[in-house]
Amino acid sequence: MKSLGIDIGGTKIYAAVVAENGTLLSEIKKYATPKTRKEIEQILKEIIQNFEAQVDVIGISTAGAVDNTNTKILGSTGNLCIDYPKINFMKLSSKKVVIENDANCAAWAEFKLNPEKNKQNIVVLTLGTGVGGGIIVNGQLLKGKNGAAGEMHFKMSRNKRRQCTCGAYDCFEIYASGTGLKLTAQELSGNPAMTTYDVIEGVKNKDELCSKILQTWQNDIIDGIIGLANIFDPDYVILSGSMAQFVDYEKITLSVNKEIVTTPTKVIPAKFANNAGLIGAAILAMEKIK
Amino acid sequence: MKSLGIDIGGTKIYAAVVAENGTLLSEIKKYATPKTRKEIEQILKEIIQNFEAQVDVIGISTAGAVDNTNTKILGSTGNLCIDYPKINFMKLSSKKVVIENDANCAAWAEFKLNPEKNKQNIVVLTLGTGVGGGIIVNGQLLKGKNGAAGEMHFKMSRNKRRQCTCGAYDCFEIYASGTGLKLTAQELSGNPAMTTYDVIEGVKNKDELCSKILQTWQNDIIDGIIGLANIFDPDYVILSGSMAQFVDYEKITLSVNKEIVTTPTKVIPAKFANNAGLIGAAILAMEKIK
C-alpha cells in the first residue's frame, strides 16, 4: 500500500508519497501556505491531482482538533486563515481522505515506526512555538469524546503568573514551549527584549544566567512530564519539535523517575524531525483503510 | 451471572454478592481490617468460603496499583500492613479472582452502570483523605504499561509550597483532598490546629473566612479538572468520595468549561457512595470471565 501524506502548517505545506513502513517514496514537495481558504484548497487539489493515481489513500496532518471520524476540524487552527476549518477535505479526492491533528500524527509516527512493538503507551510532546500533545493508550490514539484530547493545557501555578495563548493562565504550554523559554528568560534577566536565540547562544558561550534560564525552563518541562507519567504510566515520553534539541534527556529521565509514583519511564528524543506529521498522517490513513 | 465483591480498605473490609446490573444480592458484610497479613488472609478466606458456591467469580477492590493481568499489587498500599501486597489473592478461591485498584473499581462502576451507554470517556476523582483517580478511555480502564496509571500527582505550583504524602511537592492530591482542605484552612487562618470539620461547620454558620477557605480548595479542584479535561476531552468528570459532597457542581462545571480548549464537559457527583469499590470490582470480575 502507498499513501499520500500532506502536512499543512501555518507557514508551509509539505507533501510526499509514503510506504507502509514509513519510507518516503518521493521527494518532499514544499509550498508556502496561502492566506485564504480558496488558495489553500487550490494547492491541495493540485497536490492531490499530481499524486492520487499512485496511492491508495490520502492522509492529511493539520493544526486544530480533528473529530473522531477523521473528517472534520473542530477547534481553532492557530496561524491558518479563520475559515480554514470549513474546507471540505473529503471532497478533495476520489480516494479516501483521512485527516488528523498534527501532534497526533507525529505521535502516531513515533509509535508505529518504533521497532519495539510491545510499547503501546507513549506520550509525545511537540515543543515548538507552542506545545502539542499526542498520546497513545494501548496502541490507540487518545481522542476523547469528540477528538479534542491531548491538549497540554494543565496548570503549573496557582497564582496567575503567565497568560497562555489559549486565554487561560499558567498552562504547561506557556512554560514548556519556545515562547515559555523566552518569557522565562525575560523574567530572570529583567530584559524584556531577550529572545530564545539569546539564551541558546548564551548557553553555548557558558553564560551563567543563560544556563540558569535554560535549567528553569527544563525544570518546568520535568514538572509537566511528572504529572503526565503519573497519569499515563507510559513506556516512553518522547520529545519532538524544534525546542526538543535543547534539553538534557538523561537528566530529565532521572528527575522524572525520582518523583513519580507509577513505574519507571524513559524520556527520549523523537526519531522523526520535521517529517513526523506527514509520515504519521500517511501511515494512519493506510491503517484506516485496512 | 453473580459475583462476590470485596472492598479492602485501610480500616474496613466490605463484602457482598452482586448481580450483573450492579444490584446487591446480599447484605453487605463488614469487618475491621486487621493489622497483619495473616489475619487479612484469614478474613478473606472466611468471606470467600461463605459465598463462593453462590457466585461465578470474585472481584476484589484494593488500595495500591494493580498489574495489567489483575493478579498482583504493584505499589504501596497506604494504610495497610507493609507485606499486604504479598498476599496471593489468586489462591484464595477455586473460582477466578480478579483484583483491581479501588479508584479504578469506583470508576468502572460509575461507567458501566451509567444509563447513557454512549459515554465512553470518563474521569472519576475520589476525593477523600487523599485523591484517587480512575479514568475510562474509549470504554476501557486507563492502566498504562504496567497498570499504575491514573495517579493524581500532577503539580499545582512551581515553588515547592506543600509536600505531598508521595514525597514530591505540590501534587493535585495535596490540594484537592480532605488533607488539602485542612492545609488550606491552616494557611489562610494562620491557625495550625484548624481541621476540615471546622471549615465545614464554619461554612454552615456562614463564616466568611471558612467560605473563603472552601472556595480556595474548590478553585484548586477546578484547576486540576481543567488540566484533565484538556488532556482527556471526557464526557463527564465524576467526583466521588467523602469530600465530594462539599463542592458546588454547577459552579465547577461553568468554571471548567470557561477555560478548557477541548469540547464542553460536565462535572457531576458519583452515583454510588461507599459501595462503588465493591460493586465496581464485582462487575469488572464478571466482565473478565465473559
Nearest to A230 among B74, B153, B260 (CB): B153
Residue B279 binned pLDDT confidence (cut-offs 50, 70, 90): very high
pLDDT tens-place string over residues B128-175: 989 999 999 999 999 999 999 999 999 999 989 999 999 999 999 999
B75 pLDDT more than 80? no
Q: State percent of chain A over pLDDT 90.
A: 92
Enter the C-alpha cell of residue A277: 506529521
Helix (H) or strand (E) segment spanning residue A34: none
User: Tell me, what's the pLDDT at A87?
Assistant: 95
Q: Provide, for chain B, the percentages of residues in helix, strand and coil under a 3-state DSSP scheme, each rounded to the nearest 5.
A: 40, 20, 40
B125 pLDDT more than 90? yes
Instruction: Compute the average pLDDT of residues B1-14.
Output: 94
User: Tell me, what's the pLDDT at A274?
Assistant: 75
Nearest to A151 among B137, B148, B231 (CB): B231
Best of B118, B230, B235, B266 to substitute, by most chain A Cβ atoms within 10 angstroms, is B230
Put simply, the answer to whether A230 touches B152 (Cβ < 8 Å) is yes
User: Tell me, what's the pLDDT at A115?
Assistant: 83
The ipTM (two decimal places) reads 0.96
Closest CA to B2 of B23, B20, B29, B24: B20
Considering chain B, what is the average pLDDT of its residues?
95
Task: Note which residues in 167-186 of chain B have CB less than 8 A from chain A.
Answer: 167-168, 172, 175
Instruction: Compute the average pLDDT of residues B98-104.
Output: 97
pLDDT tens-place string over residues A210-226: 999 999 999 999 999 99
B272 pLDDT more than 90? no
- Chain B residue numbers with beta carbons less than 8 Å from the beta carbon of A175 are 158
Phi–psi pair at A191, nearest 5 degrees: -105, 105
Phi–psi pair at A75, nearest 5 degrees: -115, -165
User: Tell me, what's the pLDDT at A186?
Assistant: 98
User: Tell me, what's the pLDDT at A134?
Assistant: 98
Put simply, the answer to whether B262 touches A65 (Cβ < 8 Å) is yes
B206 pLDDT more than 90? yes
* Distance from C-alpha of A87 to C-alpha of A120, rounded to nearest angstrom: 33
User: Tell me, what's the pLDDT at B10?
Assistant: 85
* Distance from C-alpha of B6 to C-alpha of A43, rounded to nearest angstrom: 62
* Distance from C-alpha of A22 to C-alpha of A125, rounded to nearest angstrom: 20
Enter the C-alpha cell of residue A18: 509514503
- Chain B residue numbers with beta carbons less than 8 Å from the beta carbon of A232 are 142, 144, 149
Query: What is the three-class DSSP state of A106?
Result: helix
User: Tell me, what's the pLDDT at B273?
Assistant: 75
User: Tell me, what's the pLDDT at A178?
Assistant: 96
Beta strands at B2-8 and B57-62: parallel, antiparallel or unpaired: parallel
Residues 6+ apart with CB under 8 A from A218: A247, A248, A251, A252
In chain A, which stretches have pLDDT less than 50? none
**CA B160 from centre of chain:** 26
User: Tell me, what's the pLDDT at B40?
Assistant: 96
Instruction: Look up cell 512555538; give the residue.
Output: A129
